[in-house]
Amino acid sequence: MTENNNQLPYAISVIKLLKGNVFKSDADVWDNIIQYKPALKNYFSSIGIELFIHEDNGYAFLRQKEREEQFEQTLPSLISKRQLSYHMTLLCAFLVERLYEDQRATGNESPFCSIDRKTIINMMKPFMPSSSNEAKIERDINTLINKVKEYGFLRELSTDRDTFEIRTILFALIDNEIVHEIKNKLLEHAKEMNNNNDTEDGTEHDPESTS
């Protein structure tokens, strides 16, 4: 009984946020976050963490403060940083770009943007390792899709399991400038890979044909 009385009323939110992103669809936790927003912000700030809440778009997440913003002593990292693979990074960049395109087209700052599995597969295929096994390529892309879903960046629609909502939390995690930077680097890398494949195939390039 004493333990329950001493428990913070927003303990459930602290635990969920430390585990990962929280969305409005997780109604009990979301309501708790909104109810205790000031207390949660103060709590996390005291341990060197910033709490970001976007009520309109319905998501919340934590970010470790930069060292210069923290206390003089170095605080250990409390939030695990996800290491995204080359293809995961590329997929996320494409998804954010899709969000920005939809935002520009509709004029809506918080758009509902959906994408189907086939579009993602076709979008990613040119950047996957070359293989004559189409089924394997699609399996690999579906593995990427499942991972992005696990991170909360895509949400499967209840009416169609092959169509996904692109979650607007990506706006907060990856800005437009970073998207272009990532895409340019990855596209250059893909071009180099294609050039290497052409060379291996015996294709010759006329140096005078380049401008």
- The domain segmentation of the chain, as residue ranges, is 2-69, 86-200
CATH 1.10.10 for domain 86-200, yes or no, is yes
In this prediction, residue 94 carries a pLDDT of 87
CA-atom Rg of the chain in angstroms: 21
Where does 2-69 sit in CATH, by number?
1.10.10.2250
The tens digit of pLDDT for each residue in 118-132 reads 999 998 988 888 778
pLDDT score at 41: 94
Nearest residue to 189 via CA among 83, 85, 117, 97: 85
pLDDT tens-digit readout, 15-57: 999 888 899 989 999 999 999 999 999 999 888 888 999 998 8
**Residue of 194 and 58 predicted with greater confidence:** 58
Distance of CA 71 to the CA centre of its chain: 29
User: Does residue 197 surpass a pLDDT of 70?
Assistant: no
Q: How confident is the model at residue 202 (pLDDT cuts 50, 70, 90)?
A: low
| Separation of alpha carbons 190 and 197, rounded Å | 11
In this prediction, what percent of the chain has a pLDDT beyond 90? 35
Q: Which of 31-35, 133-137, 150-154, 166-170 has the highest mean pLDDT?
A: 31-35
